[in-house]
Structure 1
Amino acid sequence: MDVFDSLVSDVARLLDRPGRRLLGLCGPPAAGKSTLARACVDEINLRLGTDTAAYLPLDGFHLSEIQLERLGLTHRKGSPPSFDVHGYVALLNRLIGEPLPSHPVYLPDYDRMLHEPVAARHVVAPGVRLVVTEGNYLALDAPGWREAAALLDELWYVDAPDELRETRLRERHSGNGSSTERTRRRIEVNDRPNGELIKASRGRAGRIVVLVPPTG
């Protein structure tokens, strides 16, 4: 059994318990959280049936550019105060509240080309038993973030070497239309400090998952 198969088997064990379960993946920017979350959801649905699992990205709770400008946070987009963490907590509560919703619950996402959050890109169908949610700050010991973590059945920290992450960040920013200089500034002024803050929260996660692509 390879590493991914083992991870998915551990995710599937969450469903041994009744009710709807929440798995959170946290970690620094470009560690591979969203890739792992979507892959786990796809594999669980393949193994156990369509609409067994669903995906919820924290990035859908980015504040809009208008709100970032109002708050003076444009240069710190992606930092903890640039998210609507209380809205995120409210949605988590809605997803696991008793009784569970009998209708589809639509979930927001972030569009990297628009540079804005977008509504209703994802959905949790009534029969979904597992929601895999991912975001940088789910282990952060701060108001709002603590409340989010308390709702999760398990919280895993996804890690990758800093050099690999920053290579991915350069590719991400340049692919979204940023110039080389703007990309450099974004990493130095924003992504790198955010990453250090997130790394300090590593000990609050229940499991560490290190994602390094194979060589050769």
Structure 2
Amino acid sequence: MTQISYKADVDVMELVTRVLKLYKEKSHNRLVISVAGVPGSGKTTFTAEVVRILNQTIPTLVLPQDGFHYYRGDLAKFEDPKKALERRGAPFTFNAKAFVGVISKLNDPLWATVDIHAPSFDHRLKDPVENDIKISPEVKIVFLEGNYVSLKDPIWTDISSFCDETWFVATEWDIVLGRIIRRHLEAGIAATEEEAKFRAQGSDQMNAEYIIANSKPTTVLITNNK
């Protein structure tokens, strides 16, 4: 499949129109689209805006990867708990199997008439909140949003088999770094800009490099360097 590229200054309505066209062409229940990208790429904000517009006509929802973080208590039981806690946010610190389990229900006829529940992530508690997201039968479009939803790694790679289309938001590292530093300061994760920069250039950059090296080509590439 030929990859389609959009620049950051493209009218979001172009993508909304694309999604509406895909939805009309669907022969089964829900349209499912994944949106991947490195931390700080802007994928969450971008997806939220597309979903906001779509919701004016068709019930649409975001299913974030974040809710499938392993609990801190689970990470403490890992073979190397210190590394697991320090690297929290890396692919191995997520319950990918549980994530795919929920995704697999989205167009399963057995789940077509009942609510599907998924966890959210509480950034204040720094842990998931079980069953906090409800995907009712009325929801017709679901966006799977997260850093790793296009990885070719075992289990993660299964996500694309449940998607009608896959998107990737690409952003230059200097822009990403600035966004991550601001995020760490605003969330209280870092007390100073120096500490925030140290964190961003550590685990966050490692994750970003892994995503770039290990993600599959997607249907749509969105360049977001604004």
TM-score (norm: length of structure 1)? 0.90
Q: Is the 8 A contact 2:170 2:223 kept in 1?
A: yes
Query: How big is the shift at 1:23?
Result: 0.3
Supply the AA of the counterpart residue of 1:211: N
Task: Note the C-alpha offset of 1:136.
Answer: 0.6
Correspondence for 2:63: 56
Rounded Cα–Cα distance in structure 2 between residues aligned with 1:58 and 1:203:
17
What is the deviation of 1:2?
5.0
- For 2:53 and 2:183, the matched residues in 1 are separated by 25
The yes-or-no answer on 1:138 pairing with 2:145 is no
Q: Are 2:225 and 1:212 equivalent residues in the alignment?
A: yes
- 2:64 partner amino acid: P
Instruction: Name the structure 1 match of 2:209.
Output: 196
Per the TM alignment, residue 205 of structure 1 is displaced from its structure 2 partner at its CA by: 1.3
Give the counterpart letter for 1:175 in structure 2. Answer: E
Task: Verify the 8 A CA contact 2:102 2:116 in the aligned structure 1.
Answer: no
Partners of 2:195 and 2:129 lie apart in 1 by 24
1:43 is matched with which residue? 53
Task: For residue 202 of structure 1, report the CA deviation from its aligned partner.
Answer: 4.9
Tell me if structure 1 keeps the 8 A contact 2:152–2:215.
no
Runs of at least 4 residues off by over 6 Å: none
Aligned pairs for 1:59-138 (under 5 A) are: 59-71=66-78, 72=81, 73-138=84-149
State the secondary structure of the residue aligned to 1:66.
helix
Alignment equivalent of 1:26, drawn from 9, 30, 36:
36
Distance 1:2 1:198, change over 3 A: closer
Contact 2:151 2:216 in 1 (8 A): no
Quote the Cα distance in structure 1 between the aligned partners of 2:110 and 2:23.
18
SS at match of 2:121: strand
Paired AA for residue 205 in structure 1: T
Match of 1:150 in 2: 161
Residue deviations 1:2-26 (CA, integer Å, cap 9, x gap): 5211011112222121221110000
RMSD: 1.8
CA distance in 1, matches of 2:16, 2:35: 13
CA drift of 1:45 comes to: 1.1
Residues 32-51 of structure 1: CA deviation (Å, up to 9, x unaligned) = 111122222211111x24xx
> How much has 1:83 moved relative to structure 2?
0.5
| C-alpha displacement of 1:201 | 3.7
Task: In structure 2, list runs of 5 or more residues that go unmatched.
Answer: 1-8
Shift of 1:105: 1.9
The structure carrying a bigger helix percent of its residues is: 1
Q: Alpha-carbon deviation of 1:149? A: 1.8
The letter of the residue matching 1:9 is T
Structure 1: how far apart are the matches of 2:114 and 2:219?
32
| 2:105 partner letter | R
